[in-house]
Structure 1
Amino acid sequence: MKIEIFSDYACPYCYIGKRHLEAALKELGLEDAQLIHRVYILDPGKISHPERTYLEGLNLKTAEEKQHAANTFASITRLAADIGLAYHMDTMKDISTEMAHRLTLWVQETTPDQTQAVIDRIFHAHFIDNKDISSKEVLLDIISPLPLDPAEASAVLDDPSRYVDQIFEDDDRAQQLDVDYIPYFIINDSDHISGVVNTEKLKALLSQAK
């Protein structure tokens, strides 16, 4: 089974969706499914501001806006907790995700069996540890326990042109598919699933696609 996954590290639902997908695949005995990372950057061209939180970056003015944000964060935090993730939405940093995606695409091309581990560690660093995943040093530290070449990883991160073509290609494909909500899964080039779907529903959908 092949599953393409359009996602962004800035999307809290994407990490939640990843965990539900992994649980569904495990329960179905499909842990050898081929998972392919596709880039969908929610805020292209964003400039990182690790000195502030994402919430501060929203620059909310009214009490109504602040309450809406608080309610949204609380809802997302509950969804994350349901799948075993302890999000810290109030203190996550206001950062760009392009560098993290370029690193992921390098891993997917050169050491594909480590791709999902890298994705998981970057998501964890952002939403749970609230680290600056737009920082080269932070990204290198994130992948340091894994069997990856740190010198080559550093070279990829130092060259902003590396894997940018792939990012544009993924974006073009997402537009052709009318992807407007992530995570977005494509199963065996045919079945499409948009948004967070819980483990049981994913199991049913994956079973139909086998």
Structure 2
Amino acid sequence: MSEPISIDIWSDIACPWCYIGKRNLEAGLAATAADEDAPQVNITFHSFELAPDTPVDFEGTEIDFLAGHKGMPREQVQQMLSHVTGVAADAGLQHRFDLLQHTNTVKAHELLHFAKAKGMQHEMEERLMSAYFTEGKHVGRVDDLVALAAEVGLDADEAREALENDVYLDAVRQDQAQARAYGIQGVPFFVIDGQYGISGAQPPAAFENVLRDLWSQRGQDAQAAPAAQN
């Protein structure tokens, strides 16, 4: 039995392309699941803050934020958001930028590390992204994050204690340091088996091809190893 392929994903829950990339990866995995020898994978999410200087309670819309943060004309921002909304829809997602509450995401990243320690990182990642992009919920305040943690089955009191005491802040910073070491400047960024980098929200077929190729190579290497020993 070959070792599972490791997929390390640097993302920010406030990154619309990260949610799209997550869905596309899931679609690629679903397409390979029917293979006679389907690739086995281990997926880990890592922290990346797109705008660490954002206040927890930003006053204004997503258009206001992007126009000010990136210095873009409001009309250009609106066109960009419309484009992203269309791409998200193609991936089966509903991005509601009209509802979105822009916020600082460091506490959300701490919560993801807490969830990881409890074996529920994937559920927490999905819940946070859905809350942020589809439901217009606040994901920067401790009370709101604790409520979302409880929704996926995590202990609310333990989650609150972890967030209020910055228990996982060092883990967030370690992820960010690793991103810098890899030279990651934008997300989503996928590191496959610690050696292959895939940048951006690639289509499902791109993930299908990479995973099938790597898994096939794993099988060939596994068969060649006993022969080499003989």
TM-score when normalising by structure 1: 0.90
Give 5+ residue unaligned stretches, structure 1.
none
Aligned to 2:22, the other structure's residue is in SS state helix
Q: CA deviation at 1:139?
A: 1.4
Q: Is the 1:136–1:157 contact (alpha carbons within 8 Å) kept by the matching residues of 2?
A: yes
1:66, 1:59 → 2: CA distance?
A: 6
| Structure number, greater radius of gyration | 2
Q: CA deviation at 1:176?
A: 1.2
Q: Say whether 1:135 aligns with 2:147.
A: no
Q: Say whether 1:104 aligns with 2:112.
A: yes
Q: CA deviation at 1:58?
A: 3.8
Q: Say whether 1:10 aligns with 2:18.
A: no
2:113, 2:81 → 1: CA distance?
A: 29
Aligned to 2:73, the other structure's residue is in SS state helix
Aligned to 1:96, the other structure's residue is in SS state coil
Give 5+ residue unaligned stretches, structure 2.
216-230
- Give per-residue Cα distances to partners, 1:101-139, cap 9 Å, x unaligned: 000001112x22x21111001000001111110022221
Q: CA deviation at 1:32?
A: 5.4
Letter in 1 for 2:200: G
Instruction: Quickly say closer, same or farther: Cα 1:141–1:50, change in 2 above 3 A.
Output: farther
Displaced runs of 4+ in structure 1, greater than 4 A? none
Identity of aligned residues (%): 26
1:209, 1:71 → 2: CA distance?
A: 38
> What root-mean-square deviation, in Å, do the aligned CA atoms of Structure 1 and Structure 2 show?
1.7
2:212, 2:66 → 1: CA distance?
A: 41
Structure 2 residue aligned with 1:84: 92
2:174, 2:157 → 1: CA distance?
A: 26
Q: Is the 2:24–2:204 contact (alpha carbons within 8 Å) kept by the matching residues of 1?
A: yes
The worse-fitting range, judged by mean Cα deviation, of 193-202 and 40-49 is 40-49
Letter in 2 for 1:123: M
Q: CA deviation at 1:59?
A: 5.1
Structure 2 residue aligned with 1:27: 31
Structure 2 residue aligned with 1:126: 132
Q: Number of residue pairs matched?
A: 204
Match among 80, 83, 90 for residue 75 of structure 1: 83
Letter in 2 for 1:87: H
Structure 2 residue aligned with 1:201: 206
2:183, 2:8 → 1: CA distance?
A: 15
Aligned to 2:98, the other structure's residue is in SS state helix
Letter in 1 for 2:23: R
- Give per-residue Cα distances to partners, 1:150-193, cap 9 Å, x unaligned: 1101111212x321211221111111111112110111111110
Aligned to 1:186, the other structure's residue is in SS state strand
Match among 7, 18, 41 for residue 49 of structure 2: 41
Structure 2 residue aligned with 1:147: 153
1:31, 1:129 → 2: CA distance?
A: 33
Instruction: Quickly say closer, same or farther: Cα 1:59–1:183, change in 2 above 3 A.
Output: closer
Structure 1 residue aligned with 2:167: 162
1:59, 1:36 → 2: CA distance?
A: 32
Structure 1 residue aligned with 2:220: none
